[in-house]
Amino acid sequence: MEPFALKNALENVRNTTPLVHCITNYVTVNDCANALLASGGSPIMSDEPADVADITAICGGLVLNIGTLNARSIEAMHVAGARAAELGHAIVLDPVGAGASALRTDTAGELLDELPVRVVRGNMSEVKALAGASAATRGVDVNPDDVVTEENLAASAAFARDLAARSGAVVAVTGAIDIVADADRAFAIRNGSPLMGHITGAGCMLTCVCAAFAVANPQALLESQVAAVAGMGLAGQQAAGRMGGMDGNGSFRTYLLDALYRLNGDALEAGAKVEELA
């Protein structure tokens, strides 16, 4: 991947202010909205079935995050998804907690089967559950057995490519090492900070940012997702570097949004640690 693609991907978001309809959990929704704004997009939230078709129609992208799913929001996801599909919008699925409950696993699977999902973003446990692989999920955190390491990187990338091939979506598996893959190519991204696991919502925020990047870069979807993942990781590194002696996860959360807000194309190119896997 040429470095310019990452820079372009970010600048395309900043220059077009993509509107993203988010049906997402109420735990991290405020951070999701602010992360979208920080990256250059614009958020709209709605999860009422009677509202979502209109709302999604004025947007360019749709995030389906099942973090606090309920009967109403599941219905809303199907209604909004169908409308977004008709309109050719970028649909991004975040299977939060898939594998942790039957309802989550089933809902995520149905959405993936039913809709032309353009990007799946989750941790390896969630993505494995979504793929129907047997995976014991530790709630909303990755199962230790599923952590992507240098040792299992090739196998993990092959898994992501396989799910991408089967689903037609770009698959972004995030963790200590991130993987972004479509059916043909896979990239490892080694940005980020362990502190991102000490706040709630780093994954949910990234999912929304992925949607903004997908909307703004329709001709370079895979590259745009690499840019989004590397960008969020770089923001995490910068936030970690800013931590002072009295700071904890409260400040880190603020710094993460700040760093995402201040990220520019040149910094992204210079800081992104992206490797194309064989």
Closest CB to its own copies among residues 69, 131: 69
Closest CB to its own copies among residues 246, 278: 246
Q: Is 39 helix (H, G, I), strand (E, B) or coil?
A: helix
Closest CB to its own copies among residues 39, 167: 39
Token pair recorded at residue 269:
């190119």
Contacts of 14 (CB under 8 A, 6+ apart): 40
Least distance to its own copies, CB of residue 54, Å:
3
Taking CA 258 as the corner, what is the angle to CA 254 and CA 261, rounded to the nearest 5 degrees?
Answer: 145
CA distance 270 to 249: 27
Least distance to its own copies, CB of residue 211, Å:
14
Q: Number of C-alpha atoms within 13 angstroms, CB side, residue 128?
A: 22
The DSSP symbol for 143 reads P
For residue 171, list its beta bridge partners. 120, 181
CA distance 22 to 44: 6
Closest CB to its own copies among residues 35, 272: 35
Least distance to its own copies, CB of residue 269, Å:
19
Least distance to its own copies, CB of residue 219, Å:
24
- Contact between 19 and 46 under an 8 Å Cβ cutoff? The reply is no
Least distance to its own copies, CB of residue 182, Å:
30
Pairing status of strand 186-189 against strand 178-181? antiparallel
Least distance to its own copies, CB of residue 231, Å:
13
Closest CB to its own copies among residues 1, 261: 261
- In this structure, how many other beta carbons lie within 10 angstroms of the beta carbon of residue 37? 17
Binding footprint of its own copies on the chain (CB under 8 A): 19, 25-31, 33-34, 37-38, 42-48, 50-51, 54-55, 58-59, 67-72, 97, 100-104, 137-141, 198-201, 242, 246-251, 253-262
Closest CB to its own copies among residues 112, 263: 263
